[in-house]
Structure 1
């Protein structure tokens, strides 16, 4: 959809990112996030739209979005789906302190924001924090022990036989995922595993991201009726593709790093921004479990200066990791006694979505 058409049907836009967290500097970018309701053709016809995240140089209604490259406005159903899944980056949009655009329809959504809080936040917030830690560890490894050369097939024992391509690997792993999912779909005792495979954990991405462990290869061969030489080549090809992906990521990291951030990272030995976001996410998740409220602005939460200290390199890598471990332990303790429901009421959320779309009209 064109920018102007999205903005005409926008129900709210909030100021997120560092400004939303109260951690902005004079040179900080403005990150805007919002929601819109698509026209009838996107509900009743073949057209599909989930979000508007580019084209901000087009003609628009709101001048503050002109050229604002870090802007995303979600279609309401996509937004509510993410909210229902306790997505940390989206939940916070209903608890911002500044809304340059807020209609009566958008206000209704914000007034019902408690519907989206549940004990699921323990898993999503700690999961997003773990992703920040993984980035920290990857960058730290590159800082302390950078890759020396581009990986070659011969490094993985692949001489004359052709590698499986990335597309061939992904097709096979997709097939493997569907077979495993099908094995447990109708078994009552495997209900939780089926939920993990289909909803709570992105197992498809995990299969494609990591090399299959040795102990699973025989089962994989039997499950898929594959030849031994194919399974052997599969493992070698996966190892090569993982190494090649890391090499490319390392090259992109070297070329695209912000010079100031890179220097701070070199001095401290880890990525300070990822460290700060890790702690912010964990503390936010803990606060939700404890109080049933989400505090986005860290000046209100009272730890803005502490988070700035992480960004300024005043904590070591070990200290930040100890901080994270301590909050995780506390989160586990608070989780059991939290007054939040175990999961959101999807029926009420669905009714709210219908009401919002009907209020906006087509």
Structure 2
């Protein structure tokens, strides 16, 4: 859809990111996030759209997003799925301090924002926090022990034939995942395992992220009727591709780092921005479990100065990790005590979706 078509059906746009958290600096970007409701052909026809995240140099209605690459406007159904899943980056959109654009329909959605809060936030907020820790640990490893050279196939025992490509590896692992899922789909005693592998965790993503363990090779060979030498080449190729991916990420990190951020990272021994967001996410998840609301503005939450202290490097890596560990322990306790439902009411959310579409109208 063209920009102007999206803006004509936009129900709200909020100022997110560092400005929403009151953690912005003079040079901080403006991150705008919003929601629009697609017209009839996207609901009843073949067309589909989930979000508009480019094309802001096209003619439009809202001048404040002209040419701003940090703008995303989600289609209603996409955003409702993310909200129901307790996605931290999307949940906060209904609690932002500032909405440059807010229609009556957008306000109606915001009025129902507590409908999306559930104990799932314990897992999603801690999961997003751990993703920040993983980035921090990767950068810390590069700081303390940078890769010596670009990996080559022979480093992984691949000599006589070329390594499998990323696409070849992913195609095989997709097949392996489907076979594993099929093995347990109709076994009554494996119902919880099936749910775990298909809904609760990204098992397919884990298969593709890590090389197959030695103890899994024989089972994978038998399940897929593969040759033993192919399975071993698959494992070696996975290890090579993972190392190559890390090397490319390391080079990109070196070349694209903000100089001031790189200097602070060198002095402190870890990425301060990732550390700050880790703590912010854990505290936000804890607040939701305790208070039943999302506090985006960290001035209101009362920890803006503390988060800025993390950004200034006033906490050591060890202190930050201890802080994160304590917050996770608190979330475990508060999740048990919280009055929030275990999961959102999807039937109610589905009704709200239809209600909002009817309010907007098809044309």
TM-score under structure 1 normalisation? Answer: 0.99
Query: In 2, distance between residues paired with 1:170 and 1:261?
Result: 35
Aligned to 2:225: 225
Aligned to 1:206: 206
Aligned to 1:323: 323
Q: Verify: 1:50 aligned to 2:70, yes or no.
A: no
Q: Which secondary structure state, in structure 2, belongs to the residue aligned with residue 115 of structure 1?
A: helix
Q: Can you list the C-alpha shifts for 1:250-305, whole angstroms capped at 9, x where unaligned?
A: 01111111111111111111000000000000000011111111111110000000
Q: Verify: 1:91 aligned to 2:97, yes or no.
A: no
How far the C-alpha of 1:191 sits from its partner, in A, is: 2.2
Query: In 2, distance between residues paired with 1:298 and 1:343?
Result: 26
Instruction: List alignment gaps of at least 5 residues for structure 2.
Output: none
Q: Which secondary structure state, in structure 2, belongs to the residue aligned with residue 148 of structure 1?
A: coil
How far the C-alpha of 1:39 sits from its partner, in A, is: 1.1
Aligned to 1:176: 176
Aligned to 1:308: 308
Q: Can you list the C-alpha shifts for 1:114-159, whole angstroms capped at 9, x where unaligned?
A: 1100000000000000000000000000011111110000000111
Report 1:104-115 matches (<5 A): 104-115=104-115
Query: In 2, distance between residues paired with 1:268 and 1:226?
Result: 49
Report 1:66-145 matches (<5 A): 66-145=66-145
Q: Which secondary structure state, in structure 1, belongs to the residue aligned with residue 34 of structure 2?
A: strand
Query: In 2, distance between residues paired with 1:228 and 1:28?
Result: 54
Q: Verify: 1:298 aligned to 2:298, yes or no.
A: yes
Q: Can you list the C-alpha shifts for 1:151-205, whole angstroms capped at 9, x where unaligned?
A: 0000001111121111110000001111111122222332222222222222211
Q: Which secondary structure state, in structure 2, belongs to the residue aligned with residue 154 of structure 1?
A: helix
Query: In 1, distance between residues paired with 2:342 and 2:191?
Result: 17
Q: Which secondary structure state, in structure 2, belongs to the residue aligned with residue 315 of structure 1?
A: coil
Query: In 1, distance between residues paired with 2:132 and 2:4?
Result: 35
Q: Which secondary structure state, in structure 1, belongs to the residue aligned with residue 72 of structure 2?
A: strand
Aligned to 1:31: 31
Query: In 2, distance between residues paired with 1:298 and 1:191?
Result: 42
Q: CA RMSD in A?
A: 0.8
Query: In 2, distance between residues paired with 1:190 and 1:114?
Result: 34
How far the C-alpha of 1:48 sits from its partner, in A, is: 1.1
How far the C-alpha of 1:64 sits from its partner, in A, is: 0.4
Aligned to 1:351: 351
Query: In 1, distance between residues paired with 2:337 and 2:269?
Result: 38
How far the C-alpha of 1:226 sits from its partner, in A, is: 1.1
Q: Verify: 1:286 aligned to 2:286, yes or no.
A: yes
Aligned to 2:62: 62
Query: In 2, distance between residues paired with 1:307 and 1:188?
Result: 48
Query: In 1, distance between residues paired with 2:149 and 2:128?
Result: 31
Q: Which secondary structure state, in structure 1, belongs to the residue aligned with residue 178 of structure 2?
A: helix
Aligned to 1:164: 164
How far the C-alpha of 1:35 sits from its partner, in A, is: 0.4
How far the C-alpha of 1:67 sits from its partner, in A, is: 1.3
The 10-residue stretch of structure 1 (70-79 or 21-30) with the greater mean CA deviation from structure 2: 21-30
How far the C-alpha of 1:227 sits from its partner, in A, is: 1.1
Query: In 2, distance between residues paired with 1:337 and 1:128?
Result: 22
Aligned to 2:360: 360
Aligned to 2:195: 195
Q: Which secondary structure state, in structure 2, belongs to the residue aligned with residue 33 of structure 1?
A: strand
Query: In 1, distance between residues paired with 2:44 and 2:56?
Result: 27
Q: Can you list the C-alpha shifts for 1:52-83, whole angstroms capped at 9, x where unaligned?
A: 01111111100100111111000000000000
Aligned to 2:251: 251
Query: In 2, distance between residues paired with 1:296 and 1:193?
Result: 36
Query: In 2, distance between residues paired with 1:235 and 1:353?
Result: 45
Query: In 2, distance between residues paired with 1:178 and 1:248?
Result: 30
State the aligned residue count: 362
TM-score under structure 2 normalisation? Answer: 0.98
Instruction: List alignment gaps of at least 5 residues for structure 1.
Output: none
